[in-house]
Structure 1
């Protein structure tokens, strides 16, 4: 009996489909970005060796390093107006827009459309800075956050706020030259815009739900104050930025097309 059962078992083993190999998260995210926003891949690298000069948050947030970056950026912005009084508030506001603007949209795309969630721990991110001092490219060591992979889209967005954004805003606010609320205002405007861009991927119901939670609720689900609360407000049937980003105060910098001062 045992002799006759062996060929049957062997036949079952060989005929059974081989288990499918899980696609690497980095490849999946890269392909998703290439399909939706290919230009992002110029400034957002996944599982590629980062340049030696690229820095983690812990490295660039050091006062001497950050001061050096902001000084370079100030020299660039005021290069054609050497006698003009320099203003650090709008300068840092624009510097932060570069940093957060390059980082957040691809992270939102990955977090809200992939089954697996990226680990957003700051040590997995290196930033390469442009010769002018502002962020130029992010190099991501792709790791999965297994716990976050089981969480809802809204919880993943909360992780983005707490792990990737709050440390950056607090570091810039610690300079004493800018109120973090201005940076959050700019960030809320960016997130609201990109949620609109993702409507075909997420569906209108999902986008409206995320907007309601992050722009109209005072607290996050964990009980922390929601820094995005009322960073955009309803006006004429649209969600619009609440406050000016102050970039108009900088020389040779174009005013936003929907500036609140207009």
Structure 2
């Protein structure tokens, strides 16, 4: 009986320690984001109650669920041009830009500025979708990834690409309406912009090194093919997107300011 009581007590203590650790990590990430890019806290939540309508990747990527989201988004995009033929390729490109554009920046900031790294496994992520069908807010269940914590920044970016981003790209590519290369091209532009924003925090030399590994190495740090390779290229002394994101093909959607077609 005494042994059983002691075991229960030890379990409660360990569980309490894990909860404290998770809350401490969440608070540290919130503080860093608040001090650098406070607006990102509007689209990401750490260790907060998940609303009932939020979904994991396994839930929203089911063919019927994804088809419903894309149909809703298509109705929104084409709402003023209902007679136009609908193009799924640029539609999915823009949908992915919303999804990854909200998810990646705060995660990249946290991974490159925090000593402890969180688990990027998709089951720890829930996304709440806007009434128009696109991503609106992410809810992350903080779990410390001990292996990733011990790794360097290039390895952490590799984990972001392979664990958090790749499953999203694969789910969208499985629709048959878009090639994953287009989504990676958009994502390379996004990551390059994020890295530029972090120069004051990490220093220009370190960011230059990370950009080299991200965009000019054919393999990621784990030896796998790098989907970000040459998604941005050097032109007139600056790194710019290599290919057009195709959003200009959608009605009432403005062309990017630095579109490759200009």
* TM-score strictly above 0.5: yes
**Runs of at least 5 residues in structure 2 that lack an aligned partner in the other structure:** 1-19
CA distance in 2 between counterparts of 1:81 and 1:128 reads: 27
CA distance in 1 between counterparts of 2:221 and 2:107 reads: 20
Note the C-alpha offset of 1:205.
1.2
CA distance in 1 between counterparts of 2:68 and 2:132 reads: 11
Note the C-alpha offset of 1:30.
0.5
Alpha-carbon displacement from aligned partner over 1:78-137 (angstroms, at most 9, x marks no partner): 000010000000000000000000000000010000000011010110000001000000
Alpha-carbon displacement from aligned partner over 1:136-164 (angstroms, at most 9, x marks no partner): 00001111101111110000000000000
CA distance in 1 between counterparts of 2:116 and 2:128 reads: 26
The answer for the alignment partner of 2:113 in structure 1 is 113
TM-score with structure 1 length normalisation? Answer: 0.91
Whether the 8 Å contact between 2:155 and 2:222 is mirrored in structure 1 is: no
Note the C-alpha offset of 1:222.
2.1
CA distance in 2 between counterparts of 1:73 and 1:182 reads: 19
Note the C-alpha offset of 1:221.
2.4
The answer for the alignment partner of 1:193 in structure 2 is 193
**Runs of at least 5 residues in structure 1 that lack an aligned partner in the other structure:** 1-20
Q: Considering only aligned residues, what root-mean-square deviation do their CA atoms show, in Å? A: 1.0
Moved over 2 A (4+): none
CA distance in 2 between counterparts of 1:145 and 1:249 reads: 41
The answer for the alignment partner of 2:181 in structure 1 is 181
The answer for the alignment partner of 2:151 in structure 1 is 151
Tell me, yes or no, if structure 1 residue 43 matches structure 2 residue 39: no
TM-score with structure 2 length normalisation? Answer: 0.91
Whether the 8 Å contact between 2:46 and 2:139 is mirrored in structure 1 is: yes
Larger radius of gyration: 1
The answer for the alignment partner of 1:230 in structure 2 is 230
The answer for the alignment partner of 1:9 in structure 2 is none
Aligned length: 242
Whether the 8 Å contact between 2:29 and 2:110 is mirrored in structure 1 is: yes
